[in-house]
Amino acid sequence: MIRKLLFHNFLILYRASQWIRRHFTHAGILILGGLVTSAIFGLNIRQTLSYQIFTLLFSILLLSCISVLIFRGKFRFKRVLPEYGTAGQKLEYGILIENLSPKKFNNLVLLDELATDLPSFEHFLNAKDIQDKRRNFFDRIVGYPRLVSLIRKTRGGLIQPGEIETIAGKDKIQQRITLIPVRRGYLRFATTAIGKCDPFGLFRRFKKYNHKDSLLVLPRLYEFPPINLTGRRKYQHGGVNLASSIGDSEEFISLRDYRPGDPMRAIHWRSYAKQGTPVVKEYQDEYFSRLGLVLDTFAGSYPEIVFEEAVSVAASIAVSSLQQDSLLDLMFINDQVYRFTAGRGLAGVNNMLEILACVESAPEENINELETLLLHHTNDTSGFICILLTWDEKRQGMIEQLRSAGIPMMVYVISMNADSDDFRNMTLPEHSEHFQVLQAGDVEHSLQNKHRRKQ
């Protein structure tokens, strides 16, 4: 009951804080803070002279608000979005602004906004935030920072406002906007608002325009060491059709933009020098082995972060493996069984990343379907890379079955407590180097540790 009341108050508080941040500049917030403080101390005008400060600041803010009451501009917008974004990576895009009125405007602010769905009480109660363990006791119990982080996550990205010093009448300009996607999947742009700032630079008034768009954000990528499974080439059904050529040579396909996680040696330095942005060489592998990338989607009771990390790990492996010599089958279960093949002239990395950007979790009871799927493909697969969300009996049984079928495997388990005793006491497969527990929220560190240990 109290939590519910608190939750609703938090939503009000959040809306109020958003309103203040939107409408007041930093200088405005400073004046507002001074106004509130002087109001508190100036209640009794015989005690302090704070009331003098209060009246002055109040009239300044009042005039600020009044001076932007009338804003008669008419504008038209067009977003110029890139094809993809990557979670956690800053990206820039443009907004084309057209001033339809003949009037010149100064001191404008452009606010591009993503659709924001406020969470329900149940959603808030069940939500877990990886940052929570770094918060203090009070913040954890009360949960306001968790709510803010939840809303931010639902929204999907942070967009910085852009400043337009001046726009002439009937003129067009392009404004660069910086966006940081905080999660994978589609970001839904909802509105674009243009605001006029008062002469003091304290308060802004906005005109809002519905302006819908979407941008696909690919999962966050990690730099993954190459995975060397001891598997051999396997006979592929209709294999020749699947490959553009046969043999062990590498065939150059194209150049493409650099994506985080690409190796340095793939950079095409001449193009880099010409364009100023890194460009990498893309090769088509001629080695006809086929790897299965198995993503455990049964995230029922596990924290969301674990599943997200699993998707990121899968995406990173997809990027690194497709640059090696293999066909890659991405296999997972959702409402049905999915198997996507990439490499050797079929789909490219981008298609696989697109799929991974949109993958969702599935109910735990369907885990047997995954086992069936994997066993079905043991004949045509050289090896499996499995990304698991936990290391329970069911999953251990599944891995043991595949191992007994003689398939080489690499198993990654994503866990919130990678260093806990749970993993020390568990029975690991025979080849411990083909089994690794990765810490959710700190995968890079876990990988580095493993690499160091190997050395």
3-state secondary structure 181-212: ECCCEEEEEEEEEEEEECCCCCEEEEEEEEEE
Question: What does the angle CA 362 – CA 363 – CA 369 come to, to the nearest 5 degrees?
Answer: 80
Distance CA 272, CA 267 (A): 8
Residue 454, H or E segment: helix 443-454
Instruction: Show contacts with other proteins in window 30-49 (CB under 8 A).
Output: 30, 33-34, 37-38, 41-42, 44-49
| Binding flag, residue 260, other proteins (CB under 8 A) | no
Q: By CB under 8 A, which span of 26-34, 69-77, 286-294, 306-314 interacts with other proteins?
A: 26-34
Q: By CB under 8 A, which span of 56-64, 261-269, 339-347, 429-437 interacts with other proteins?
A: 56-64
Nearer to other proteins (CB atom), residue 101 or residue 131: 131
| Binding flag, residue 267, other proteins (CB under 8 A) | no
Q: Which two tokens stand for residue 141?
A: 């119990």
| Binding flag, residue 53, other proteins (CB under 8 A) | yes
Q: Which two tokens stand for residue 450?
A: 């493993």
| Binding flag, residue 174, other proteins (CB under 8 A) | yes
Q: Which of 143, 161, 343, 408 binds other proteins (CB under 8 A)?
A: 161
Instruction: For residue 218, count other CB atoms closer than 10 A to its CB.
Output: 28
Q: Which two tokens stand for residue 372?
A: 């069936």
Amino acid at 215: L
Instruction: For residue 79, count other CB atoms closer than 10 A to its CB.
Output: 16
- The tokens 């999660």 sit on which residue? 183
Q: Which of 68, 151, 197, 414 binds other proteins (CB under 8 A)?
A: 197
Could you write out the DSSP letters of every residue in 370-421? HHHHHHHTTTT-SEEEEEES---HHHHHHHHHHHHTT--EEEEEEES-TTSH
Q: Which of 73, 119, 145, 278 binds other proteins (CB under 8 A)?
A: 145
Query: Shortest gap between Cβ of 96 and other proteins (angstroms)?
Result: 8
Q: Which of 78, 128, 135, 211 binds other proteins (CB under 8 A)?
A: 135
| Binding flag, residue 52, other proteins (CB under 8 A) | yes
Nearer to other proteins (CB atom), residue 217 or residue 402: 217
Any idea of the CA torsion for 298, 302, 306, 312, to the nearest 10 degrees?
Answer: 20
Q: Which residues bind other proteins (CB under 8 A)?
A: 25-27, 30, 33-34, 37-38, 41-42, 44-60, 62-63, 67, 88, 94, 106-107, 109, 131, 134-136, 139, 145, 158, 160-166, 172-178, 180-182, 197, 199-201, 441, 455
